[in-house]
Amino acid sequence: MKKDLGLVQAVYPMPVLMVAAYDANEKVNVMNVAWGQICDMDKIILFIGKGKKTWLNIQESKAFTVSLADEAHMDVADFFGIASGNKIDDKFERTGYHATKSDKVNAPIIEEFPVVMECELLEFFEDEHIDGIVGKIVNVKANEEVLDENGKVNPVKANLLMFDQFQSGYYVTGEKVGQAWNAGVKLNKGE
């Protein structure tokens, strides 16, 4: 029997996305965003509240990067979620992390995170219920040590973080247990 839990954001896992953008002076700000998702083959939507420092920077620069946080950098990833760039002027500098300018978009790449999407701003999505930022993914870069023999990102090698909204925990990717678009083939064929 199921027990009522009340209102819980019951989606697991959630991504741990590091969204970075420049302000008008090319100062780096990074924000930890769990509420984001791929929304088309080359698009991502991030649910960032209007007025957040990263929201303002993206409005200014028309570009951003989205890095996938990993276990080795969990403390800084969490800090990027705790600290507000509107309140802490040296938020990025406090971490000692390194940023390089993307050669694809006007946004910083945070060198410490293993996988990054370089994005151009497509639109701000706002209605009475939600604020979102839609970006076009123009390129993805990854550290070689997280790639498999076919040149694709291996989530287990990368130790990518997942966020658990049930207990506010971070987890890493475990073993692969099946192949997408294959595990249900027998049911599809009616076998």
Per-residue pLDDT band for 191 (boundaries 50, 70, 90) equals low
Q: Which residue has the tokens 């073993």?
A: 175
β pairing state of 14-15 and 161-164:
antiparallel
Q: Is residue 67 part of a domain?
A: yes
Q: What are residue 93's phi and psi, to 5 degrees?
A: -60, -35
The HSE-up count of residue 134 (CA atoms within 13 Å, CB side) is: 11
Sign of CA dihedral 51, 42, 141, 15: positive
Domain extent at residue 20? 14-188
Q: Is residue 6 part of a domain?
A: no
| Domain count for the chain | 1
pLDDT digits (tens, 9 = 90+) for 125-161: 888 999 999 999 999 999 999 999 999 999 999 999 9
